Amino acid sequence: MSISLDKSLGLPAQALKLQAKRSQLLASNIANADTPHYKARDFDFGSVLRQARTGGVTLRTTNTRHIDPVGFGVGNPTIKYRVPANPSLDGNTVELDRERSRFAQNTLQYQAALHFLGGRIRSLLGAIKGE
């Protein structure tokens, strides 16, 4: 009997991947706050996670030798440009205070998902050891 780690770890592992990707985007936005004509980018974390939870991402295999897509979950979310509340004269759409706020919020969510995933791993280890 084999255990699928993708199924066992489930949504918290997918959320962790998404939050890491979002952290990179937000950090890039913050780093380019003074770059003329830079457009702030982000994706809707909630909708991508909802899509993964409901199974909205599907893969179709066309050959029997293809890898089974079970556990594929979230792939590449659609990255969009953010519309600023106060556009700058140089064309930059980064609003530094909002980006920092989003980055801090994403960091807290990342830590929570990491904590939850750690608990799930501990419970799997307990089940394997028979505790």
The proportion of the chain whose per-residue pLDDT surpasses 90, expressed as a percent, equals 40
- Average pLDDT rounded to a whole number, residues 79-98: 91
Give CA–CA dist 86/25, Å, rounded: 20
pTM: 0.74
Helix (H), strand (E) counts: the chain: 3, 2
pLDDT in tens, 47-84: 887 776 766 555 566 776 766 554 444 556 888 998 88
Phi-psi region of 35 (alpha: psi -120 to 50; beta: other; left: phi over 0): beta
Q: pLDDT at position 31, please?
A: 97
